[in-house]
Chains A and B, each alone.
Chain A
Amino acid sequence: MGDQHLDPTGARLPGAYLTPGSSSFAEFVAAQAPDLLPGRRPVPAAAAGGDIAPHGTTIVSLTFPGGVLMAGDRRATMGNIISSRDIEKVFPADEHSCVGIAGTAGLAVEMVRLFQLELEHYEKIEGTTLSMQGKANRLAALIRGNLGLAMQGLAVVPLFAGYDLDAGLGRIFSYDVVGGRSEETGFHAVGSGSLFARGSLKKLYRPDLDARRAALVALQALYDAADDDSATGGPDVSRRIFPIVHVITADGGERLPEGEVTTLAEEVVAGRVLRPDGPPARVEDPTGREATTGGTTEGDLR
């Protein structure tokens, strides 16, 4: 096909464009211009090693009644070097879903671009959006296409979340490097700081949080991740760089405005000055009932 895809203007549309077929953009590109796909380029046989390209780190996501949100820190690392302080790792996938990425940043961003286009392309061609599972499965297929590179040490591990309009609730899907997909209940985290973030989420998450407090929980979890994982960035108070938070409800998704995230992040930081380890969980109240019925104040999460 050569570079035909780059300049079909000035010439008749290639036959393949006019041929009825798949509604998948990725499949169309694979047939027409495979060199544009992230996983289709030849790679050298030797393993790439750990730090030839920047790595994105921690993403957390949690559901709340009527929606789901996802947050990511802003750091990218190359070995022991911080390669970016303000990288964005949470992207809207379409109106009602978003995707956060951990792993090789360059490849992951390209995969997100392809995934966004995949959903939009389907929507335009079919006149309707894919189901939530359909979207999750398409993302799994894209990750599988990257298996060769993952084996070379250039893995991409996304986290996918969205509002399921059919089921009327927020849902979270996680993936492994080979494209295995599993649905998570309540909350999940991926990336190098995910162990600490998940521990934090476990203690702070409650199914009845509102959107604002869910965002606070996410920021607390990212703070805990940054606290113990050197590759995760904490809130950068001096440079005013704070995590990206994407909130999705039935009305659609939006990135929380910078001002709002700043206020929440400052609340978290102020709380940590008083208690560096963050809000305590209650050992004497194993059901958490007391916390949800009686004493849920925002102060609990600070």
Chain B
Amino acid sequence: MSMPFYVSPEQQMKDRADFARKGIARGRSVVAVQYAQGILFASENPSQALHKVSEIYDRIAFAAVGRYNEFESLRIAGVRLADMRGFSYDRRDVTGRSLANAYAQTLGAIFSSGGEKPYEVEIFVGEIGTEPGADQIFRLTYDGQVFDEHRYAVMGGAADVVGTYLEEHYVEGADLATALRTAVAALGHSRDERGQDSDREIAVGQLEVAVLDRTRTQPRKFRRLRAAQLEDLLATR
């Protein structure tokens, strides 16, 4: 009779974390940038149909990197949770914080339960308030940790490099065009082996951009920016 190998809990968690991290690092980055009128989400995504950024509720958006099937099921769960809450109480009672909590609990439980494969995803839950000070970006990792991000946030493959660029170039209270240019430049930023900048220009057709826009008159503040709009915005200086 063979004895199963003993694996220490520390090792087990480390293995699971490595597994999830590797999966996430394979994909392109997603950035969220706060600007004067709301929050902008941008990502390099050649697909027009499979979104990384989506609407959850009036003032709440969702962005994710990693395995599509896993974050898609989280997205749908978020839409269901938000709609259910808004239907039983009121639209104002749906908050990004409670959604982030539900995601954190779910991801945490899946990560630490032995029976399930950890999710290879990282998530943003963004929510805008009536003024910029009330805007929030939560970043959730594969193990259920929640980070309350300010000004900008990055996740996915080249998060470090993209984050460095944003750290240097982020402008507080920028308008939409400036925020978009910063975000797109950050996504295309990279360094070669010698540490020199070797930035790429990302074509408009390869971008997926959406905003939570406070100035929209409709209660639903989420809006996708199509290729034509992106071109216009990127052209303005």
Contacts and interface: CB of A to CB of B under 8 A. Distances in A.
A33 B87 CA distance: 11
A20 B77 CA distance: 9
Interface string A113-152: 1100100110011010000000000000000000000000
Interface in A17-68: 17-20, 25, 28-29, 32-33, 36
Contacts of A297: none
A9 B83 contact: no
Contacts of A12: 102, 105-106, 109
B105 A114 contact: no
Interface in B58-93: 73-74, 76-77, 79-81, 83-89
Choose among B49, B77, B98, B103 the residue with the greatest number of A CB atoms under 10 Å from its CB: B77
A36 B86 CA distance: 12
7 contacts: A9-B105, A12-B109, A13-B81, A13-B103, A33-B88, A127-B49, A127-B51
B80 A114 contact: no
A113 B87 contact: yes
A167 interface: no
B125 interface: no
A9 B102 contact: yes
B64 to A, nearest CB: 14
Contacts of A120: 83, 220
Given A8-B81, A33-B84, A120-B220, 7 more contacts: A9-B98, A9-B105, A17-B77, A25-B87, A33-B88, A124-B55, A127-B49
Contacts of B106: 12-13, 18
Q: Is the interface of A mostly helix, strand, loop or mixed?
A: helix
B56 interface: yes
Interface in B94-127: 98, 101-103, 105-106, 109
Interface of B: 49, 51, 54-56, 73-74, 76-77, 79-81, 83-89, 98, 101-103, 105-106, 109, 220
A121 B56 CA distance: 9
Contact of B74 (A18, A32, A114, A121): A18
Contact of A121 (B83, B85, B220): B83
Q: Is the interface of B mostly helix, strand, loop or mixed?
A: helix
B102 A8 contact: yes
Given A18-B73, A20-B73, A10 B79 contact: no
Nearest to B218: A95
A17 B106 CA distance: 11
The 10 closest A-B pairs by CB, nearest first: A17-B77, A9-B98, A13-B106, A12-B109, A12-B105, A12-B106, A9-B101, A18-B77, A124-B79, A18-B73
A259 B220 CA distance: 25
Nearest to B222: A124
B88 A125 contact: no
A114 B87 contact: yes
B79 A121 contact: yes
Nearest to A35: B88
A54 B35 CA distance: 47
Contacts of A113: 87
Contacts of A13: 77, 81, 102-103, 105-106
A5 interface: yes
A113 B91 CA distance: 11
A8 B109 CA distance: 14
Contacts of B54: 124, 127
Nearest to A3: B88
A6 interface: yes
B87 A117 contact: yes
Contacts of A32: 84
Contacts of B83: 25, 117, 120-121
Contacts of A10: 101, 105
Nearest to A254: B217
A124 B51 CA distance: 11
